[in-house]
Amino acid sequence: MAGIAVAGDGQKVVETMCAACHKQGVLQAPRLGNSVDWRPRLAKGEKTLLDHALHGFNAMPPKGGNPALSDQQVVDAARYMIGLVTPGGAAPARPAVAKASAKPNKRVAEVVRKPARKAPARKTRKHRRSANRFNRLLRPASKRNPPPTRDGIHDPSNDGTHVLQHPKEAFGVLPRANSGNRVDWVKALEKGAIDPRYDRLDPDKKPVVMNLNIVREVKGSMPDVVYPHKQHTEWLDCSNCHPAIFIPKKGANSISMAAILLGEKCGVCHGKVAFPVAECRKCHSKRKPRKARK
């Protein structure tokens, strides 16, 4: 790991830019030379630290908010700060060379001659990385909610993109979910963690909430679907769904998982701007009575 002596340009970058936050620990940034602040960061390894410096992490934007810096300048600056809190950070540690003794040690020589045992190769399933692996289309939680510069939506070459708040920073205080963007928006609204505006132009307008559940019977052993109007009308006006998507009449709507996955019916929103259909039990929530065995 490079230290102060090899940092060079990195020290100038730290003193002119990074110190603005890292000197005082603004927004929980690890303070310069404070080993306690840096210890949990160092435990993740230099590769992770450099990735955070280049692409952003928590409240810190990519490249510290200065896209004009080259990748090498950012790396040098990060290594300079690491060198301030690592033993012997002033220069890379060199392996010590033992002086040859006059009399060779036979025991040591025998140990050296014996080849080291190779660790047994770890058996891996060949299909683990294939197209048939389980949930191949579902991204892991670590890949969710990337920063604006890496979400494929915003322009990373635009300076304004680097100023935008990272989704993980905003979502971190909200109730957790196991799918989508990992936020339970219904609970967030119920607990008052968020206060969305019902009308774009009128901040005082209140929603007309309809507390009515629609149960759709499902064939087979799968639980029946319960559609709650309450949670939907707290966010949306009735005209968002009726009559274009759903005809407000019993038996007038043919709904299937195939249609939903094609972006029709419930799929107009779910999987796009609402939670995906990855969690069956969110909708199929009414258990069927068990039939007595004969």
Query: What's the rounded Cα separation, in Å, for the pair 64 and 73?
Result: 11
Q: What is the pLDDT of residues 245-267, one digit of tens each?
A: 999 998 899 999 999 999 999 99
pLDDT of residue 104: 54
Rounded (to 5) percent helix, strand, coil in the chain: 35, 5, 60
Q: How far is CA 35 from CA 18, 61, 83, 238, in A?
A: 17, 23, 10, 57
Q: Is the pTM of this model over 0.85?
A: no
Alpha-carbon dihedral sign for residues 220, 221, 222, 228: positive
**Could you give the domains of the chain?**
1-92+139-172 (1.10.760.10), 180-294 (3.90.10.10)
pLDDT of residue 4: 38
Q: What is the pLDDT of residues 104-128, one digit of tens each?
A: 555 545 544 555 566 666 655 554 5
Query: Residue 100 pLDDT more than 60?
Result: no
Phi, psi of 33 (to 5 degrees): 75, 0
Q: What is the pLDDT of residues 131-170, one digit of tens each?
A: 676 666 667 777 888 999 999 999 999 999 999 999 999 9
Q: How far is CA 62 from CA 4, 164, 210, in A?
A: 23, 11, 44
Query: What's the rounded Cα separation, in Å, for the pair 197 and 189?
Result: 12
User: Across the strands, what pairs with 227?
Assistant: 214
First to last CA, the chain: 72
